[in-house]
Structure formats: structure tokens, C-alpha cells
Structure 1
Amino acid sequence: MYFAALLARTEDGWEASDTELDDVETLSDLTELAREASVDDDTVIVFIEQEDAWFGLLRIEGEDDPRIYVSDGAAAARSSYGEILIKELLGDDLDGDAPDLDALDLDGTEDGEPLDQEEEDEEEAPDVAADAVPAAPIGDRLVLADLGLPEKELLALESDALAEIADALGAAEVLETVR
């Protein structure tokens, strides 16, 4: 189950609106939805959360390119709305055109820990699509730094992240009204 909301900054503070993502198929659709909510090309933040598996932020300011942050790339890549954000961050390589990891001659020792012979024998061919997306935060980690949520705090968020983000922005009450 998804939760999505738009927060638009105005002269009077933040205005929140519940967002329906049914018609969103591309990043352009999501960006257009956010720009429609903007007042005088002010900042708009789109929150997308899939239960407690991952959350994503899309920040729009005027006609600038969107800034994107996703809390867990691999989890988001397994969902339709997360995939929209991931494709923008990593390119269209999620549909099977990912780099050929076998050609890179990766043997598992790249992180400095050699594989045991048993582990090497048990190892199967990597799932290219899964390996193409890290199970870690990806995107613009400074997406909200100027609004009161520094990178370190953003990376530390886990469950109920959107409430903590809204609190840091001074928008907790308006976000709660649409939840």
C-alpha cells in the first residue's frame, strides 16, 4: 500500500494535499502533478511511501530539474512508483539492459573479503536487475538540507520517516491532515 502527498511551500507556510498516483506512469507525469500544486513556482515536495519498505522524495522548484531521493533503491525498484524514481536516478537499465556484470569479472573480493571456496562453488549467476540497484539510499542526499533536514538525519530515518521529515520542515500538522 502506498501513501503519497504533496507539500507546497507558500508565503503562509506549507500546504498539503493528498495525491492520487493512479494516472502517474512516468517521472514527467509526477513532475507535472507537482508543478500544478506549486504556488508562484515555490518549492513542492512529493512524498511517496510504500508501507515501511521505502520512501521517496521528489523536490520541484520552478522549471528546475527535479531532485530525487530514495531511501532504499532495491526495495523501490520492485514497486511501480519507486521504479519511476529509480529509472531517473540510474537510467533505463532496469529493464534488462543493465551492464553485463559477468564481463566485469567480479569475483566477490572487490570489498576486500575473499570468498571461501565453498561460497564460491555455491554462488549462482547474479540477478542483473537486482544487482543494478543498490539496497541503500540513492539520489540527492541534500534534497532537504536547506529546509532543515541535513543529510545525516535523512540517512538515519527508518520507520515513519515521512512524519519526521514533515516535522523537520515545520509541516507535521499539515501532513497529518492528509494522512
Structure 2
Amino acid sequence: MTSMSYFTAVLASDGDGWRSVDLDVEDAVDVEELADEVRAAVDGSGDAPGPLLVVLEREDDWFALVRVDGEEPRAFVSDLASATSSHYGELLSVTADSPAPQPAPQEDEEEDSAARVAAPTWAGDADLLSDLDLPGSELADTAESRDPASALVAVGEKVGFVDLLEALR
């Protein structure tokens, strides 16, 4: 049996770009604890100059983004079923509280059920990067149409952290 590897990174934006934050997210129990650890690592007072973003990826399986700013952390995961059965399952289970929208019902119910649109695999807050020029619909489409590593590169290109992401890998 081949073991799949995880990639994790904590990124902080200062408005002019992104920098990495040295923080091991391995032991965070839930998203609130993760948010507290990220805030403390960036600034002991809990105030950050810009968005803080935790990037998680399980090789060839799924990716997740956790945005830490404001009172409540927000999370998005590309494949909820796979992510919740992983090491980070408990941490990412919060995304199940805001699942992806279900496909619209078919107008002609007599159509073959195989022709129906499959439900999205992603869950969470797809709009968590919309203020950084990545609309929720585009993040959802990227998650659905690409492998996790390519999807993260596309997200990084759009939001401005692709070079840092590639350097950290």
C-alpha cells in the first residue's frame, strides 16, 4: 500500500504580496483551534495585516483552504467525502455545515437517471477568496475540473501566491 503525502502551508497577505508563516498545523483539532494558532503565529495580538490562508492538500485526492480573518474562520474543501475520511477529517468537518449546492432537478423526470448532473463534491464557503478576485463559482469550477495540485496552482495564480506555493512545495 502506497502512502499519500500531505502538503500544508500557512500564508499571510500584507496587501503587497504573500509570505509563508512557519507553523505546523498537524495537531489542530478543529478549525477554530487552527485559526487561533495561525493568528498567534502571525501576530501575538491576533491582528493580521491581511488575509491569512491555510492551504492543505492530499496528493491526488483533495485540497482545502481555510481563511482566517474576522471572527469566524471560513473553509472550502474540493472533495468533502475524501477529506473527511483523512487525517484532517475532524478539522475540515466544518465544511459539511455549508455543503455545495445541489444540482437543479431535471425538467423531464423520464430522462435516464444516468444523464442527470452529478452533485458537486466540494463543500464549504466557495466565496472565501471572492474579495481577492476569485469568485466562488470560479473556485468551485476549478475544484471540480482539475486535480488538486493543478487546482491550487490555478488558485495561486489568480490570488497571487503561486510563486510562493511552488517554492514551498
The answer to whether TM tops 0.5 is yes
Structure 2: how far apart are the matches of 1:81 and 1:113?
Answer: 41
Do the aligned partners of 2:31 and 2:73 also contact (CA within 8 Å) in 1?
Answer: no
State, as a whole percentage, how many aligned pairs show the same letter.
36
The answer on 1:35 being equivalent to 2:42 is no
**Distance apart, 1:72 and its partner CA:** 0.9
Q: Tell me the C-alpha RMSD between the 2 structures.
A: 2.6
Q: 1:72 to 1:12 in 2, by over 3 A?
A: same
Q: 1:113 to 1:177 in 2, by over 3 A?
A: same
Structure 1: runs of 5 or more not aligned: 92-109, 116-133
Structure 2: runs of 5 or more not aligned: 98-104, 113-118
Do the aligned partners of 2:30 and 2:90 also contact (CA within 8 Å) in 1?
Answer: no
One-letter identity of the residue aligned with 1:176: E
Residues 69-148 of structure 1: matches in 2 within 5 Å? Answer: 69-86=76-93, 88-90=94-96, 112=109, 136-148=121-133
Structure 2: how far apart are the matches of 1:52 and 1:166?
Answer: 17
Do the aligned partners of 1:5 and 1:16 also contact (CA within 8 Å) in 2?
Answer: yes
Do the aligned partners of 2:63 and 2:79 also contact (CA within 8 Å) in 1?
Answer: yes
Do the aligned partners of 2:10 and 2:38 also contact (CA within 8 Å) in 1?
Answer: yes
Structure 1: how far apart are the matches of 2:168 and 2:9?
Answer: 7
**Distance apart, 1:27 and its partner CA:** 2.0
Structure 1: how far apart are the matches of 2:52 and 2:111?
Answer: 47
Structure 2: how far apart are the matches of 1:24 and 1:31?
Answer: 9
One-letter identity of the residue aligned with 1:175: L
**Distance apart, 1:50 and its partner CA:** 0.6
Q: 1:24 to 1:113 in 2, by over 3 A?
A: farther
The answer on 1:165 being equivalent to 2:169 is no
**Distance apart, 1:36 and its partner CA:** 2.4
TM-score, L = length of structure 2:
0.72
Q: Any idea what SS the aligned residue of 1:155 has?
A: helix
The residue aligned with 2:57 is: 49
Structure 1: how far apart are the matches of 2:141 and 2:95?
Answer: 21
Do the aligned partners of 1:59 and 1:67 also contact (CA within 8 Å) in 2?
Answer: yes
Structure 2: how far apart are the matches of 1:72 and 1:83?
Answer: 14
TM-score, L = length of structure 1:
0.68
One-letter identity of the residue aligned with 2:57: E
Structure 1: how far apart are the matches of 2:158 and 2:41?
Answer: 21
**Distance apart, 1:155 and its partner CA:** 1.4
**Distance apart, 1:90 and its partner CA:** 3.1
Give the number of equivalent residue pairs: 142
The residue aligned with 1:94 is: none
The residue aligned with 2:102 is: none
What per-residue deviation string (whole Å, max 9, x for no partner) do you get for residues 115-136 of structure 1?
9xxxxxxxxxxxxxxxxxx761
